[in-house]
Structure 1
Amino acid sequence: MALMTSVSSEDAGESGMDEITSATFIVRNGADLVAAAGYQVWPATTAHLCVLTAPGERGRGLARQVASAAVAQALRDGLLPQWRARSMASRNVARSLGFRELGSQLSICLDQDELRVEG
């Protein structure tokens, strides 16, 4: 939990680390957890990758290290690893592990105050 609270709520949500169903692969700096990865099993034997690195530790290859371990485990488990990345940093880590972009995703957040039902 310390790693999740060390990042912005946006980073924590984007990482998906609170939803993994696999083992967690980690890197520590002393007693501090500085990077973690795992995956959530999705339908059709898909392993949705989840990765998070502490802000002060980014750019050192730690995300690639923990994500590589999670991908290897997903493959051993007979799953197809999937990486959905919005940020360029996340996309770069995915590419470094051999992932290729095959499409894009659009997310729309609606303000509840603006929703109206007319009839």
Structure 2
Amino acid sequence: MRTATEVVAAAGFQAWPGDTAHLSVLTAPEQRGRGLARVVATAAVADALRSDLLPQWRARPEASRRVARALGFRELGSQLSIHLASV
């Protein structure tokens, strides 16, 4: 019998200027609500800290904010994105 391996959650970071680790966390929609984002984000944060980087989480959706808060992140500001139409 052959079994398939399916990735249902992943996290990582990109090093930004100023020794910052910009985190990204993804969970398959049908797998959300099971704590998987928290598990993979914890590993990404630990990896960033081992690399002497300051983890940064730009959480916009409320579900993402809940995971960030659960890991000890604090909201320190806000971000505004504007899409300019082409002319």
Q: TM-score of the superposition, structure 2-length normalised?
A: 0.94
- Quote the Cα distance in structure 2 between the aligned partners of 1:56 and 1:106: 29
Unaligned runs of 5+ in 1: 1-29, 114-119
- Structure 1 residue 104: deviation in Å? 0.2
Matched, 1:53 2:53: no
- Quote the Cα distance in structure 2 between the aligned partners of 1:36 and 1:62: 9
Q: Provide the secondary structure at the position in 2 that maps to 1:112.
A: coil
- Quote the Cα distance in structure 1 between the aligned partners of 2:86 and 2:34: 40
Q: Answer 1 or 2: higher relative contact order, Cα 8 Å, separation at least 6.
A: 2
Q: Which amino acid aligns with 2:72?
A: G
Q: Which residue of 2 aligns with 1:11?
A: none
**Matched ranges for 1:19-38 at <5 A:** 31-38=5-12
**Matched ranges for 1:33-44 at <5 A:** 33-44=7-18
- Structure 1 residue 59: deviation in Å? 0.6
Q: Which residue of 2 aligns with 1:87?
A: 61
Structure 1 stretches of 4+ with a deviation exceeding 4 A read: none
Higher normalized helix content (fraction of residues): 1
- Quote the Cα distance in structure 2 between the aligned partners of 1:32 and 1:109: 34
Unaligned runs of 5+ in 2: none
